Amino acid sequence: MDSKIDDLMYKSGLTASGCWDQMDSYDKEAIEKFGELIVKECIEINKQELSFNAFERLLNKYQEHFGVKE
């Protein structure tokens, strides 16, 4: 998972002292997967709504920014 998603989890309070530490690995993986799925849904919407060139540029930015692949 990309550090940007880690940063967003921190900003949401998920990594607050005690909160993240008390979760088991299943919970942690589910939360990380949820963030990844949101990014992938945004990618799919952009794929349907944008021209190919615009989509390709955005796809590269999503991959760099979030570390999520299509």
Radius of gyration, CA atoms only, the chain: 14
Span 17-47, pLDDT tens digits: 778 788 888 988 898 888 889 888 988 888 8
Could you give the CA distance from residue 5 to residue 7 in angstroms, rounded to a whole number? 5
Is it the case that residue 2 has pLDDT exceeding 70?
Answer: no
| Average pLDDT, integer, range 48-68 | 85
